Amino acid sequence: MSVAGPLGQLTLHAIVALPLLAAALLLSLGNSRRDTAAVIAGVTTAAALALLLTQGGAVFAGGVPQTDIPWLPWNDAALGFRVDGLALLFAGLVLGIGLLVVLYARYYLGAEEPIARFYALFMLFMGAMLGVVLAGNLLLLVVFWELTSLASFLLIGFWQDRADARQGARMALTVTGLGGLALLAGVLLLGRIAGSFDLDVVLASGDLIRAHPLYTPMLLLVLLGAFTKSAQFPFHFWLPHAMAAPTPVSAYLHSATLVKAGVFLLARLHPAIAGSELWFHVVTIVGLLTLLVGAYVAVFQHDLKGLLAYSTISHLGLITLLFGLDTPLASVAGVFHIVNHATFKASLFMAAGIIDHESGSRDMRQLNGLWRYMPVTAGLAIVAASAMAGVPLLNGFLSKEMFFAETLKLDSHAWLMLVVPIGATLAAAFSVAYSTRFIHDVFWNGEPRGLPRKPHDPPAWMLVPVGVLALLCLLVGMLPGPTIGTLLDVGARAVVGAALPYYSLSTWHGLNLPLAMSVLALAVGAAFYFSLQKLFNLHDSVHLERGGKEIYDAALDSLRAAARGASAALMNGSLQRYAAVTLVFAAAALGLPLWSDGAQLAGPLPVAPVPALAWLVALLGCGAACGVVLMHRQRFVALVWLGLTGLCVSLTFALLSAPDLALTQLLVEVASVLLMMLALHWLPATSPAESSAGRRLRDALIAGALGLAVAAAVFAVLTRPADAGLANWLLANSVPGAAGNNAVNVIIVDFRGFDTLGEITVLGIAALIVAALLAGPRDPAPGSAAPPAGDGRAPLLAIVGPLILPLAAVVAIWFFLRGHNLPGGGFIAGLTLALGLLVPYLGRGADWVEARHAGRYEPWVGWGLLCAAATGIGSFMLGYPFLTSTYLSPALPWIGKLPIATAMFFDLGVFLVVTGATMLMLTTIGHLGRSRGVPTARGAESG
Amino acid sequence: MAALLAIGIGLLTATGAYLVLRARAFAVILGLTLLSYAVNLFIFVMGRVAIDRVPIVRPGLETTVQSYSDPLPQALVLTAIVISFALTAVLLVIAVRAHAQSRSDHVDGGAP
């Protein structure tokens, strides 16, 4: 392990950051500047590739340059990157093929297409992919993994106006996104097992991990992530649908990057999680199935890109199978095939794109005999397709030979020993068949049939990327040692996690069984294809693979149906039903625990004597509450009973040593009864009797159960002693800590001042909601009403009103000033003043009041909140925490020393908000009919 | 005293709950007001109750719950009373608007 120097650290971060920065830059670039966009993307990729190569020396020397920036240290997540052999190889593929695709896309995309957006998404994807392969921390890997899913969604859906592109993109995102969630869960388990998310630690803890009881769920979750990403059977169905992407995207995502992320993960975590029977069986069998299914279905595709898509699935299965075999040489072969497949498949996709671009079709039933029209393209495609078929002297042959050799070594696994080699040969034969079809059906097999355009070779620059890759196929195929040997060696060593046994990378290994399998596959495959063409008409065959997509669609449909059903069942739109369900659950939640503990409902405290006054208040209150229920259809009568109930609640507070509460309750009671009377002006005066007797009984039962549960809870609590720790602290600190004798007020404005700030904010917001709801335009209603308190004003109030207001103001100030030490304070003072201000409205009507002073109460709310918040911020300025209180004793003339706690300014804010909010609500509802539009009203007689 | 308070709060809860289950907005608002009485009293009595122990600190008395009632539930309930007033106001306005638009004050918006 070597840690990179300061410059090296920067290098690793820069490799990942450069494409991401370029993506941001490209997004700000207009779509018209095609060449600029291509140059930015190309230069960025080349620069990142150059930076990666600077790390090559250290990696080849056996080091692992790495760097860490703490990110969420408490979660053991770091922005750490590391370059070992595997990361170097993969990052090289990502950047190298990326560079070629950037060049190719410049010529592929039409003039009218948003090319800057394309390159921006492309760079985003490239950065995410680099993050996956270079991540040195598993959590970071998962983050980049998700980013590749999102970026590929955007790329596959690049042609947003096409339904198939949107559907393909959605499907890819759904499948790989679900896999990503599984991977996240698996990685969290893995980190828990290994004790760290650091990749070095995890890779070194293989034995610990395999012996852990959570190994099986962890492995299955991680494999689910890898298999969905790498389109393994039965999750492979999304990949053919992703072919709706522009071809450069397909060439990049489905050869070297996105789908390779899954097999990369298998390789990356190989030392940590492979090496068990479970791994062997699951990975091998899934790989084999994918290999066979993909190869077979590919033969019958008529769409060029469809053929390549299924071929990709098949080759991914091959790689998965190799990692499943779990021998060092199989891992070498797996890594080798990753590189080879990326090379020939990228060039084939690009060739398919050229054919599509120049002829207007990708359908092999139309594309025939193109050899004479586009010979250069044909030549390059033939080289690449031969590599895909595993023809000797090309790179695909080498890794396939190694693959065959490894399948023959399964002597310890009874039935797989036969099944795997036979399946491998069969799949290879199919692979030869579809490769032959790609060559023969497109470039020969008669003349073109009904092509939109007369095909010809594309501009030279479009051929260069294909040519480079085809050349690589040949070079690696003929000179494997000098070209790829060293890189393969360090890459595979990182997968195996130890030194590699001897292996030979040469074209000729003598006459042996793998060679025989290759020859057999070539012969059978070619025969299969030509017999399909001659004996059956391949072009007429309609072979649509059934299964994955249908299940996916059905699953999505049933999910939607289930969601709709659940919504419909739970939410039928009836408030009555919701209320009933809520109350039943509340009664059960409160009552059931007490029920089961019913024997000990009464606690140890002795029964306290009840004064006669309490009996009276309780009787009156209970009677009044029953009156509300009995009379609730006669709304005004019910309101009177409600007021009486509130009065009794207030008396209860007074009786039980809570004068502040008694005052507040009394004032609020007056205000809310007034409010309801005003509102009743626009509501019917009576409620019709519409509930059936059964419904009423049901509701009475629910209400009774809830009432019983609450009563039992109250009784249980009150007969048990309280923990007085907090109460004692508050009482003891009220005077020394906050200079106030009224402990309740001290809590409100000081100890829990922040809480109060929130509450007055809520009050202010509620008042503004009331104003806003009634201020909007309404549909003009027929039979509009006169305003409330219309002509029939209250003569008595009109006369005494002028006297009451100043009196109320004085009382309010008095309440306010003494609040810190005696019952009173901002809430009570605010309510008092509001009620005083309301008297003229009641006595003379709103017109009269507003003619004299245009009272707007919104500013009161605003200034009050500002005042309260400023008090808190003031203590910030003095270096204390928010809302720290202090107190001064200025000597005032005439009055003498007046102790003022700064909390008083806070209380002033409370006072202003409460006054403003109360007045705003009352006057808005009182105004309703006049200046702000007319809602339907019952009639003026109610005023 | 405990039994009396339990009965009182239970009755307020039951009457409030019954009205909340009615079909007309005004009855629901009446019910919510009754429920808020019940809930406020409930929170209040959680600090236990006592007569003549006003939580206003006076010289010469030990500052414990032996001499004063618990001030914390009182402070919580004080703001709660004001907030429930605001809630009533908002609900009333919604009821009035809904009535103006649907010509009915049924809680489900014009259903029979």
Measured distance CA(A440)–CA(A776) in Å, rounded: 73
DSSP string, A143-162: HHHHHHHHHHHHHHT-STT-
At A608-658, the pLDDT tens digits run 788 888 999 999 999 999 999 999 999 999 999 999 999 999 999 999 999
Q: How far is CA A929 from CA A431, A502, A778, A939, B93, in A?
A: 81, 94, 11, 11, 13
Contacts of A653 in chain B (CB under 8 A): 44
Residue B97 distance to chain A (closest CA, Å): 7
Measured distance CA(A500)–CA(A930) in Å, rounded: 90
| B62 CB within 8 Å of a chain A CB | no
| B60 CB within 8 Å of a chain A CB | no
The pLDDT score that the predictor gives to residue A793 is 57
Q: How far is CA B78 from CA A675, A815, B35, B75, B85, in A?
A: 20, 15, 16, 5, 11
Residue A885 is classified by DSSP as -
Contact check, Cβ <8 Å, B65/A608: no
The pLDDT score that the predictor gives to residue A6 is 53
DSSP string, A449-502: -S-SS------HHHHHHHHHHHHHHHHHHH-HHHHHHHHHHHHHHHHHSSPPPP
Residue B7 distance to chain A (closest CA, Å): 6
pLDDT value at A36 more than 70 = yes
Measured distance CA(A717)–CA(A139) in Å, rounded: 48
Say if strands A900-901 and A77-78 run parallel, antiparallel, or are unpaired: unpaired
Q: Does an H or E element contain A108, and which? A: helix A85-108
pLDDT value at A788 more than 50 = no
Residues 68-97 of chain B with CB under 8 A from chain A are 68-72, 74-75, 77-79, 81-90, 92-97
The sign one gets for the Cα dihedral A761, A764, A770, A773 is: negative
| A366 CB within 8 Å of a chain B CB | no
Instruction: Of A258-267, A279-288, A427-436, A739-748, give the lowest mean pLDDT range.
Output: A739-748
Helix (DSSP H) and strand (DSSP E) numbers for chain B: 3, 0
What does the pLDDT average to over A468-492? 89
Q: How many CA atoms lie within 13 A of A666 on its CB side?
A: 15
Task: Give the residue, A943 or A351, on which the prediction is more confident.
Answer: A351
Tell me the sheet residues that pair with B24: B106
Please tell me whether residue A126 adopts helix, strand or coil conformation. Answer: helix
Angle made by CA atoms A547, A550, A556, in degrees to the nearest 5: 135
Q: Which of A747, A778, A821 sits opposite B72 (nearest CB)?
A: A747
The pLDDT score that the predictor gives to residue A804 is 82
**B40: nearest CA in chain A?**
A649
At A544-575, the pLDDT tens digits run 666 677 888 888 899 999 999 988 887 888 88
The pLDDT score that the predictor gives to residue A1 is 43
- Chain center to CA of A17: 23
At A141-171, the pLDDT tens digits run 999 999 999 999 999 999 989 999 999 999 9
pLDDT value at A667 more than 80 = yes
Residue A621 distance to chain B (closest CA, Å): 8
pLDDT grade, residue A854 (50/70/90)?
A: low
What does the pLDDT average to over A178-207? 93
pLDDT value at A847 more than 80 = no
- φ and ψ at residue A900, rounded to 5 degrees: -125, 120
Task: Give the residue, A46 or A739, on which the prediction is more confident.
Answer: A46
Contact check, Cβ <8 Å, A614/B4: yes
Residue A316 distance to chain B (closest CA, Å): 57
**B69: nearest CA in chain A?**
A657
| Whole-number average pLDDT of chain A | 86
- Mutation target vs B (from A590, A601, A647, A672; most B CBs, 10 A cutoff): A672
A525: its two tokens: 């495959």
Measured distance CA(A65)–CA(A269) in Å, rounded: 18
Q: Does an H or E element contain A82, and which? A: strand A81-82
Strand ranges in A322-389 using DSSP code E only, listed in sequence order: none
Burial per residue of A818-838, b for 16 or more beta-carbon CB atoms within 10 angstroms, e otherwise: bbbbbbbbbbbbbbbbbbbbb
Which range of A281-290, A678-687, A887-896 scores highest in mean pLDDT? It is: A281-290
The pLDDT score that the predictor gives to residue A900 is 64
What does the pLDDT average to over A730-743? 85
pLDDT value at A791 more than 50 = no
At A668-687, the pLDDT tens digits run 999 999 889 888 888 888 88
Task: Give the residue, A350 or B103, on which the prediction is more confident.
Answer: A350
Instruction: Of A78-82, A419-423, A773-777, B90-94, give the lowest mean pLDDT range.
Output: A773-777
- Chain center to CA of A51: 33
A514: its two tokens: 């793998």
Residue A82 distance to chain B (closest CA, Å): 55
- Mutation target vs B (from A577, A578, A628; most B CBs, 10 A cutoff): A628
Q: Name the residue with tokens 């890898």.
A: A226
Instruction: Of A238-252, A260-274, A928-942, B51-65, give the lowest mean pLDDT range.
Output: A928-942
Q: Does an H or E element contain A247, and which? A: helix A247-251
Residue A365 is classified by DSSP as T
Task: Give the residue, A121 or A841, on which the prediction is more confident.
Answer: A121
- φ and ψ at residue B66, rounded to 5 degrees: -70, -30
What does the pLDDT average to over A27-43? 87
Q: How many CA atoms lie within 13 A of B85 on its CB side?
A: 34
Residue A254 is classified by DSSP as I
Contact check, Cβ <8 Å, B2/A752: no
pLDDT grade, residue B98 (50/70/90)?
A: confident
| A731 CB within 8 Å of a chain B CB | yes
Which range of A852-856, A894-898, A928-932, B67-71 scores highest in mean pLDDT? It is: B67-71
Please tell me whether residue A863 adopts helix, strand or coil conformation. Answer: helix
Measured distance CA(A867)–CA(A761) in Å, rounded: 12
| A723 CB within 8 Å of a chain B CB | no
3-class secondary structure per residue, A574-625: CHHHHHHHHHHHHHHHHHHHHHHCHHHCCCCCCCCCCCHHHHHHHHHHHHHH
| A775 CB within 8 Å of a chain B CB | no
Greatest alpha-carbon span in chain A: 121
Strand ranges in A825-917 using DSSP code E only, listed in sequence order: 887-888, 891-892, 896-897, 900-901
Tell me the sheet residues that pair with A198: A137
Instruction: Of A74-88, A285-299, A925-939, give the lowest mean pLDDT range.
Output: A925-939
Residue A363 is classified by DSSP as B
DSSP string, A661-712: HHHHHHHHHHHHHHHHHHHHTTS-SB----S-HHHHHHHHHHHHHHHHHHHH
Say if strands A887-888 and A81-82 run parallel, antiparallel, or are unpaired: unpaired
Strand ranges in A260-374 using DSSP code E only, listed in sequence order: none
pLDDT grade, residue A897 (50/70/90)?
A: low
